[in-house]
Amino acid sequence: MKKTITALQAQKKNPDRISVFLDDEFAFGLYHIVAAQLRIGQQLETEEIQQLRQAEAGEKAYQRALNFLSYRVRTEIEIRRNLAKHDTPEDVVEDVLERLRRNRFVDDAYFAQTWVENRSDFRPRGRRALHSELRQKGIADEIIQETLLDLDEQALALRAAEKNARKYRRLEWPEFRKKLLGFLARRGFNYDVSAPAVEQAWARMQDEA
């Protein structure tokens, strides 16, 4: 049974959405992009109305994903989880992710690189810790391996050691070494990387003294 569009009105609370009236009764709201092809007097089949509702569900999920991304860069798995919390159907989630990829709004390789750079600048981590953090973010192993391929762990360990060495400056060498090695281990640096960094941090601190 066909229904006729009798009015298309911008919503007062959300101008980005259009209220659609069929046979003089409010039927549903649509985003502008979904309602763009509609006109007053147009007749819609039941199947066409269903298609509009499906398109609206997809656009709503896409806008939700964009809002989620507005706070910081996200991984695909984070977007999936966020949409799932709102009971978004799996096929809609896949369409949203494909659209985000196409528009370069989601890129796990870029996320991984940005994450590592941020950590390296402000809170240096070892390869083991970075690998674990990226796995928790849902980054694929091959992307993680590629991202960490040229990681200069020795330089990062030294930077982390020097940042924290002053906290232990009143300690004797054995205790200083123990404390700083423990700190670097918690940051994901293995012993072979940590030991030289601790020695260099100690030497520089002694030179300054």
Here the CATH number for the domain that contains residue 59 is 1.10.10.10
Residues 209 and 165 in one domain: yes
| pLDDT value for 207 | 81
Residues 209 and 157 in one domain: yes
> Could you report the per-residue pLDDT of 37-94, keeping only the tens digit for each?
999 999 999 999 999 999 999 999 999 999 999 998 899 999 999 999 999 999 999 9
Residues 64 and 91 in one domain: yes
Query: 12 lies in which domain range?
Result: 1-44
Is pLDDT above 90 for 14? no
Please report which confidence band the pLDDT of residue 124 belongs to, taking 50, 70 and 90 as the band edges.
Answer: very high
Residues 123 and 139 in one domain: yes
Query: What average pLDDT score do residues 92-104 get?
Result: 95
Residues 208 and 156 in one domain: yes
Residues 4 and 37 in one domain: yes
| pLDDT value for 169 | 87
- State how many domains the chain has: 4
- Alpha carbons 128 and 126: distance in angstroms, whole number: 5
Q: Is 188 left (phi over 0), alpha (psi -120 to 50) or beta?
A: left
| pLDDT value for 91 | 94
